[in-house]
Structure 1
Amino acid sequence: MSPIPTLSPSPEVTLYFCPLATEAIGPDEAELIRSWLPEDELTKVSRYVQADARDKALVVRGYLRGILSLTRSGDVTLSPSEWQFEYGEKGKPDLITEQALLSGLKFNISHSGDWLVVAVYQGQLGLSGGERASIELGVDIERNRDSTNIYPILNHYFTQSETDELLSLPESSQRQRFFDLWALKESYIKAKGLGLALSLKSFYFDFARATKQKIEVSKLNNPAVECVLFDGIELYLVREEGDKCAADTWCLFLGRLSEEYRFAVSASHIGTFNLKAYQLTLTEMLSRLK
């Protein structure tokens, strides 16, 4: 079965987990990806001083363009070099309006340590008059770092309710909850496109109704693996001291790719959608683009 899905009749968000081992990229692969990039992106890549960081920046951009080209969406078939991006006030990338409306695609990306995750929404972006729908999508992947002293951070970035709930957990579970919350918060602020201009204390997550499920991560040439996935997490917006309201338009998922890595997806104005996941190496992606 192909790891690249066709357009579903219902809204769909697909997660592509891509290993970032830069030793896998040879001169030919690097030159091919460079040929896809416009001058401004090549300039951004060249600004990294260390060779490994330059290679990783190149691979990330290659994955994004390649995945967009492999994601079947109606009659739209663009090569990796043809995708054009625009950037929000805080730097959030998006497809230019014409390509977004024609393809029905919206994306967000995140990388940490050895993994990149690309989230791609497939659905209807057009509204009456050719306007663009206000769909918000954010994804984050986080590595559990044992060296991080989590407790001084709680008062700065977590609401009191989040802090109280975390501290009520067994000590062995507190670090896991910290990085779970951090991934959720990052995915939400990325979806909003405001960066840290949006206070991390202006919203919080409630796990009271969260349910534990499984998500299958499909692979091209190997058996699929199952990962833990939490659904039913609720988002609340904090307006004033003690005043909160439920953000009912948001759909949230939290998953564990492994013991070390977790990921989160925040999506708004999509409604109920299917969530799929695939693992795709650079070699596999490039071979499918030939």
Structure 2
Amino acid sequence: MQIKAKEMHLWWCRVNHQHHPEMMAERLLSDEERARFKRLHAAGKRAEFLMSRVLARTALSHYLNIPPEEVNFKRTPLGKPSLDPPCHIEFNLSNTSKLAVCIISASGPVGIDIEPLGRGGEIMEIADIFFSGTEREELATLDPRSQPERALSLWTLKEAFLKAKGLGIYSEAEKIAFLYRGTGRPGLAASPDIEPMPERWHFKNIDFMDHRIALAATTPFQASSVRFVALKPPVAMPAASEQPSIL
């Protein structure tokens, strides 16, 4: 499977709790991934972990022309996964209890986050912890009914960017800010130790299957640059997905 320059493929699948997880884990996961899988006791968390790894391995195998079980990963000290050995393909993962997503690019670093559309109110409750002062000030200027919607966008954008950089939201969230300044489009402001050239980054929010997805990349998003590819677990060829709503 080919991916063009300035094109991104967003693979997705449902987190299915009904498949035979032990069999799938034995077939597709590495020894280290199987050990992590077995340490998870809650059935929901096991399904989320398994399906996100199955999705990533299956998706990447299409570009590397190898079986999914032969895809090798390494992790940074903060846990960001990458291909081992490195190649021209960059990817990033995210999941909820319902969906797993994997963004793939051949044009530089990418980050992705996904959250349920209804989570905005919960995020508002922790805005003082994770949002910068300027973000909170801008948020306060909105109609209270619009604030959860904006909070959801801010949270997913921050997560996607920090994941693309290989950083953690719990330690670095207040060092970056996404400001709209009345334009309807978020712009990144960042501490120089986090990102000395924030203008090189590009962002997109997409609403898809009752979730909000945020993408961060150093490649500009064109009108048709994000191609959705659906995966039916455990392993299947790509299929057309439903049309997402681009924000």
With over 3 angstroms needed to count, the CA separation of the structure-2 counterparts of 1:56 and 1:13, relative to structure 1, is same
Q: Distance in 2 between matches of 1:173 and 1:14?
A: 31
Counterparts in 2 of 1:239 and 1:147: CA distance versus 1, 3 Å: closer
Give the percent of matched residue pairs that are identical in Structure 1 and Structure 2. 24
Q: Distance in 2 between matches of 1:146 and 1:187?
A: 16
Backbone CA RMSD of aligned residues? 2.8
Structure 2 residue 186 is the aligned partner of structure 1 residue 233: yes
TM-score calculated relative to the size of structure 2: 0.83
**Matching residue within 89, 93, 112 for 1:105:** 89
Structure 2: gaps (5+ residues): 239-247
User: Matched residues in 1 for 2:94 and 2:183: separation?
Assistant: 24
Which residue of 58, 61, 78 maps to 1:90?
Answer: 78
Cα distance change, pair 261–118 in 1 and its aligned pair in 2 (3 A): same
In structure 2, what residue type is equivalent to 1:18?
C
Distance of 1:61 and 1:245 partners within structure 2: 32
Higher radius of gyration, 1 or 2: 1
- Written as runs of structure 1 = structure 2, the 5 A alignment for 1:227-266 is 232-238=185-191, 247-258=198-209, 260-266=210-216
Runs of 4+ off more than 3 Å: 144-152, 208-211, 270-274
The aligned residue for residue 37 of structure 1 is: 29
Number of equivalent positions: 236
What is the CA distance between 1:114 and its match in structure 2?
A: 0.6
Aligned to 1:288: 237
Kindly state the Cα deviation for residue 196 of structure 1 after the two structures are TM-superposed.
Answer: 3.4
Deviation, 1:200, is: 1.2
SS where residue 107 of structure 1 aligns? strand
2:244 maps to which residue? Answer: none
Give the deviation of 1:207 after TM superposition. 2.1
Q: Larger % of strand: which?
A: 1
TM-score in terms of structure 1 length: 0.72
Contact (CA 8 Å) 1:209, 1:233: kept in 2 or not?
A: no
Q: C-alpha distance in 2, partners of 1:271/1:56?
A: 30
Shift of 1:118: 0.5
Q: CA 1:121 to 1:194, structure 2 compared with 1: closer, same or farther past 3 Å?
A: same
Question: What do the CA deviations read for 1:258-284 (whole angstroms, capped 9, x no partner)?
Answer: 4x410101113x45666323252424x
